[in-house]
Amino acid sequence: MDNKPWLVSLAYYLASSRKYQKIKDFFYNLLENSHYKYNKFFNIFMIIVVLVSVTSLVIDVQYDIPNWLNNFDLYFVTIVFIIEYILRIWVYSDIKKIIIEEYEERIFFGKKLSLVRLYIKIFKDKWSYVSSLPSIIDLLAILPSYRGLRALRVLILFRAFKMLRYTKSLTGFLDVLKRKKTELLTLFTLAGFFIFIAGIMLYVIEGNKNPHIHNLFDAFYWALVTISTVGYGDIVPVTPEGRAVSMLIIATGVGLIAFITSVIVSAFSERISSLREEKVFQDVSKKRHLTVLCGYGLLGRLIAKGLEKEKIDFIVLDIDEKMTALADNDGYYALNADATKSKIFEEIGLKDNIAHVLCMTSDDIQNAFIAVNVKSLNQNIVVTARCSDSDVAKKLAFVKVDHIIMPEDIAGKMGVVYAGEPAAFEVLLSIIEHKHKTQIDEIHITAESYFDGKSIKEIDFNSLRLIFLGVVKANKEMGDFGSFIFNPQKEYILHGGDKLVCIGYQTAIANVKRMV
């Protein structure tokens, strides 16, 4: 065992160290993971640092800046940048994994580990990061700190570029352009070709007649200014042949610019919905105990309103784009997605984000499909499904859907109440639909609160202005069904965890809730 090279031993040591992994994870999250809560603060901090340094360097061009600011820029900013640069190289990939893999592979084949080969492999791996555009910008942004060479000041530009890293909206813009790489590349090549031809032509025609054209560069400069329709007018063709060339490239220039603009705009309109979606994902992924409402039809909309009122975090999923747009307009988180597929739930975060899923589309089979999908992914998610057919209800019960809601049944049962008792129906409707300010509510008794250990007799519900219906017991041993005790005896003792069910005026209920 001892003949392992020290590099391999170190790799094994680090791989087994939980602390090392924890630290590395922390820095990875801080630098790269936009869902990490401190990532935002880090980004804001870096933007401020960049702004301060750019400002001080710009002021330095014409005026003297105070010594402390110069020092701040020279030492603090540079050190921050260098540390960030090194950290990013570090967290980019896992060297120890490469080492261990290489070592084990060699052992397996009974060959000797070649350190040179290993170093090359490691270098290649890190180089793929160092040679990437963001990394080059990072490196160049460090350089302006070197005061010896004034030309390096130009590289301030890269400090400004560096800000791209820290703002999601700006990187989104670059992403959009990246998607249209081929189109843009073609257009820019075409433009370059025109500039090249026109520049050479003007140089050949007017190189010795035009006093402003001294060399080929001047001619190219003129061609670019003209084709872009900017037209400074510092260099103008003086011969009819030169003007003819101008006319040609002006005509092509107008077309080219329109073309490029339309490509960029179309790229954006294609991406705009997915950018919005990303924003929704980002916001939602921070929530815990999220409720997912599938279906934004008549019922879905009413439920959304109710959830909003109760301040429950929820997201609307609908397969119909129009419905999603409607939910979005109503100010809710909404995604256009197929809830019968596991992908969307995985993206939202199955394990600890979603607490409830409400299957409320108007189609029984769809609801069953969604319910099965969710339950098969994670049994702990509470699923409430709507259905109209009692045969479907049996199937939902079979897949262990927690709550089955049948709107027609509910309405039917209420209709029955009316048949015998119209006045009772009025009262019931008023309580259920919150028509008046009197409502039915539950009061959770916390341990060691005012109510804990008191008997019903001791609590004067009359003076609290409440109609007391009963208690839902805390312990589940008695079974879920039997645990509601209607109108308990006066000697009944309340305990922490019990829930009182009362009817009363809003303020009266709020008052009691404050007491417990």
Partner 1 sequence: MQKNNIIIFGYETFGQYLYESLLDADYNIKIVSFDDKFTSKAKEQNIDIIKIDIKKDSDIQSLNIDEYHDLLYCAMPKTADNLFLVLTLRALYKDAIIIAMSNSHENTRKLRYAGASNIVDMYEATSRRVVNILTKPAVTKVLDEIVYKQNRLKMAEIKIPKNSPLVGRSIEDVDFKEMGIVLIAIIDEALDHKFSFTDHRINHRLDDNDTLVVVAMRDDLEIFKSNLQNV
The one among 117, 147, 487, 510 contacting partner 1 by CB under 8 A: 487
Length of the chain: 516
d(CA 155, CA 300): 55
| Nearest to 508, CA basis, from 459, 452, 461 | 461
Cβ-based burial of 121 (10 A; exposed 0-12, middle 13-18, buried ≥19): middle
- CA-CA distances (angstroms) from residue 158 to 81, 88, 373, 416? 12, 17, 49, 75
d(CA 455, CA 154): 80
Size of the residue set binding partner 1 (CB under 8 A): 75
Asked whether position 485 contacts partner 1 by CB under 8 A, the answer is no
Using CB under 8 A, which of the segments 29-37, 263-271, 324-332, 398-406 binds partner 1?
398-406
Asked whether position 469 contacts partner 1 by CB under 8 A, the answer is yes
The one among 307, 327, 348, 371 contacting partner 1 by CB under 8 A: 307
Q: CB-wise, 233 or 482, nearer to partner 1?
A: 482
Asked whether position 330 contacts partner 1 by CB under 8 A, the answer is no
Q: Answer whether 296's CB lies under 8 Å from 316's CB.
A: yes
The one among 38, 421, 446, 513 contacting partner 1 by CB under 8 A: 421
d(CA 130, CA 90): 11
**If you ran DSSP here, which 8-state letter would residue 64 be given?**
P
Asked whether position 423 contacts partner 1 by CB under 8 A, the answer is yes
Using CB under 8 A, which of the segments 163-171, 174-182, 296-304, 338-346 binds partner 1?
296-304
Q: CB-wise, 138 or 441, nearer to partner 1?
A: 441
- CA-CA distances (angstroms) from residue 500 to 39, 250, 445, 477, 484? 44, 81, 8, 19, 10
Q: Answer whether 296's CB lies under 8 Å from 304's CB.
A: yes
Q: CB-wise, 225 or 312, nearer to partner 1?
A: 312
| Nearest to 10, CA basis, from 125, 90, 96, 98 | 96
The one among 316, 354, 405, 494 contacting partner 1 by CB under 8 A: 405
The one among 65, 418, 492, 496 contacting partner 1 by CB under 8 A: 418
Using CB under 8 A, which of the segments 161-169, 176-184, 188-196, 436-444 binds partner 1?
436-444
3-class secondary-structure state, position 339: coil
**364 CB neighbour count, 10 Å cutoff:** 20
Using CB under 8 A, which of the segments 7-15, 122-130, 139-147, 458-466 binds partner 1?
458-466
From the CB of 85, what's the least distance to partner 1, in Å? 48
Tokens of 358: 């409400």
d(CA 437, CA 67): 68
From the CB of 20, what's the least distance to partner 1, in Å? 43
Asked whether position 505 contacts partner 1 by CB under 8 A, the answer is yes
Q: CB-wise, 64 or 460, nearer to partner 1?
A: 460
Q: CB-wise, 103 or 332, nearer to partner 1?
A: 332
Asked whether position 458 contacts partner 1 by CB under 8 A, the answer is no
Tokens of 411: 């309405």
The one among 2, 64, 310, 477 contacting partner 1 by CB under 8 A: 310
Tokens of 47: 């933007």
Asked whether position 240 contacts partner 1 by CB under 8 A, the answer is no
Q: Of residues 373-392, which lie at the interface with partner 1 (CB under 8 A)?
A: 384, 386, 388-389
The one among 59, 365, 410, 510 contacting partner 1 by CB under 8 A: 410
| Nearest to 469, CA basis, from 496, 495, 431 | 431
Asked whether position 477 contacts partner 1 by CB under 8 A, the answer is no
Q: CB-wise, 34 or 489, nearer to partner 1?
A: 489
Asked whether position 401 contacts partner 1 by CB under 8 A, the answer is no
Using CB under 8 A, which of the segments 45-53, 68-76, 138-146, 402-410 binds partner 1?
402-410
Asked whether position 507 contacts partner 1 by CB under 8 A, the answer is no
The one among 417, 453, 492, 495 contacting partner 1 by CB under 8 A: 417
Q: CB-wise, 181 or 436, nearer to partner 1?
A: 436
Asked whether position 472 contacts partner 1 by CB under 8 A, the answer is yes
Q: Of residues 69-128, which lie at the interface with partner 1 (CB under 8 A)?
A: none
From the CB of 8, what's the least distance to partner 1, in Å? 55
From the CB of 361, what's the least distance to partner 1, in Å? 13
Q: DSSP of 100-166, one letter per residue?
A: HHHHHHHHHTTPPP-HHHHHHHHHHHHHHHHTSHHHHHHHHHHGGG-TT-GGGGGGHHHHHHHHHHH
| Nearest to 170, CA basis, from 315, 50, 74 | 50
| Nearest to 405, CA basis, from 345, 354, 364 | 364
d(CA 329, CA 277): 14
Contacts of 182 (CB under 8 A, 6+ apart): none
Q: Answer whether 359's CB lies under 8 Å from 382's CB.
A: no
Q: Of residues 333-372, which lie at the interface with partner 1 (CB under 8 A)?
A: 356, 358, 360
Contacts of 396 (CB under 8 A, 6+ apart): 367, 368, 371, 385, 387, 404
From the CB of 330, what's the least distance to partner 1, in Å? 14
Q: CB-wise, 265 or 410, nearer to partner 1?
A: 410
Q: Tally the C-alpha atoms within 13 A of residue 462's C-alpha that lie toward its C-beta.
A: 2
Using CB under 8 A, which of the segments 31-39, 137-145, 320-328, 484-492 binds partner 1?
484-492
Asked whether position 397 contacts partner 1 by CB under 8 A, the answer is no
